[in-house]
Amino acid sequence: MPSAIRLAKRLYSLDGFKKSDVSRHLSKNNDFSRAVAEEYLKYFDFEKDTLDIALRKFLKQFSLTGETQERERVLVHFSKRYLDCNPGSFNSQDAVHTLTCAIMLLNTDLHGQNIGRKMTCNEFIENLAGLNECENFPREVLKQLYHAIKNYPLEWALDEENEDGNVQSQMRNNDVINLGGNPFLDVPISANAIEYKKGYVMRKCCYEANAKRNI
């Protein structure tokens, strides 16, 4: 689809777009948006990258914004591209997507502003048991991912403003922030809302606040 190819190129090079514009063009639930996302992801070479390194490359290029389901659609495209670049690295695209979401949740747990005990490596591994298409992910892979995120928080690309207050779209080395408050999870919350249960939700598994899986 020539129009999708042209738009993907402009989005990647930020030709007429800001980093905060990219996600909404990749996350729509229609055939054209999916075609644009597929073409956009072709600009990323994840071959031989660990999953966290590939995710860092991806998140530095644009701002992952929108509703939760929209952000998740973008990560689905990322997961497909990762597996295309590294066939056989995981059992399926869905397994890559599950692990990608888990990495972002881990980043929030370890580096967010929440007060309390942080998730341990063993808990991270236990929470992912059986989620690699009903098999376990390789333990050494999960350990490597845990320590990579613990030592080096994920970073997030932002638009920046010049001295006149106008938004600049150019990429710069320092044009990122730590993903301590994970935008993948941000949702509006009323100040008067009652919190009945606090914890983590990842795909079909629920987690208590202490990171223990309960189902």
Q: Which of 47, 67, 161, 208 is catalytic?
A: 67
Indicate the Cα dihedral angle 203, 206, 212, 215, nearest 10°.
Answer: -110
Catalytic annotation on 67? yes
Q: What is the largest CA-CA distance in the chain?
A: 54
User: Are 129 and 89 in contact, with CB atoms under 8 Å apart?
Assistant: no
Dihedrals φ, ψ of 114, to 5°? -65, 140
Residues 118, 106: Cα–Cα separation, whole Å: 9
Burial class (CB in 10 A: 0-12, 13-18, 19+), 145: buried
What tokens appear for 5 in the block?
């190819």
Dihedrals φ, ψ of 202, to 5°? -135, 110
Q: Which residues are catalytic?
A: 67
